[in-house]
């Protein structure tokens, strides 16, 4: 369950899950929806796969990602989305970054 909480704590990963709710998508299609590098997206997808929230299949040259969430996990995703839930360990880094931005 820890892996699920970790996976749901990131807004990018939550957005990936929301996109996959519509239909299964290839890694390329998903990459087109974000302003992040492919290796970063690949790392996010790997966290989601580790948590068992998505499943991937190789079709020809592309890898297709499909949602694999229980109702409880779906409810947790809705909860995390509503309350902007993030991991505690992310907070100091983000707040210090915000502090730096304010100083400059």
Partner 1 sequence: MTQSTQTRPQAIAPLAISLALLSAAIVALVLASELEWLERETIKRAGGILLGLVLVGAGNVLPKLVAPLSGREPASAGAGADRLAGWVFVLAGLAMIAIWLIAPVELAAPAVAVLGVAAFLLAVAALIVQGARQGGAMRTPPSPFSDRAVALRYALGMILAGLLAAFTMILADEIWGDQVARWMAVFFPLALWSGLVLIITLSAARSR
Residues lying near partner 1 in the complex (CB under 8 A) = 21-26, 49, 52, 54-60, 63-64, 66-74
Give the nearer residue to partner 1 in terms of CB position, either 9 or 56.
56
Give the nearer residue to partner 1 in terms of CB position, either 57 or 90.
57
Tell me how many degrees the CA angle 53-39-86 measures, rounded to the nearest 5: 50
Q: Which DSSP string corresponds to 20-42? A: HHHS-EEHHHHHTT-SS-HHHHH
Report, in Å, the least distance between residue 34 CB and partner 1. 18
Report, in Å, the least distance between residue 70 CB and partner 1. 4
Give the nearer residue to partner 1 in terms of CB position, either 39 or 60.
60
């Amino acid at each position: 369950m820890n892996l699920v909480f970790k996976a749901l704590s990131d807004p990018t990963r939550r957005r990936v899950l929301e996109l996959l709710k519509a239909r299964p998508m290839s890694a390329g299609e998903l990459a087109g929806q974000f302003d992040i590098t492919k290796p970063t997206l690949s790392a996010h997808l790997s966290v989601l796969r580790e948590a068992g929230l998505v499943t991937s299949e190789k079709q020809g040259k592309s890898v297709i990602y499909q949602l694999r969430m229980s109702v409880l996990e779906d409810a947790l995703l809705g909860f995390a989305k509503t309350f902007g839930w993030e991991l505690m360990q992310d907070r100091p880094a983000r707040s210090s970054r915000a502090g730096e931005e304010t100083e400059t």
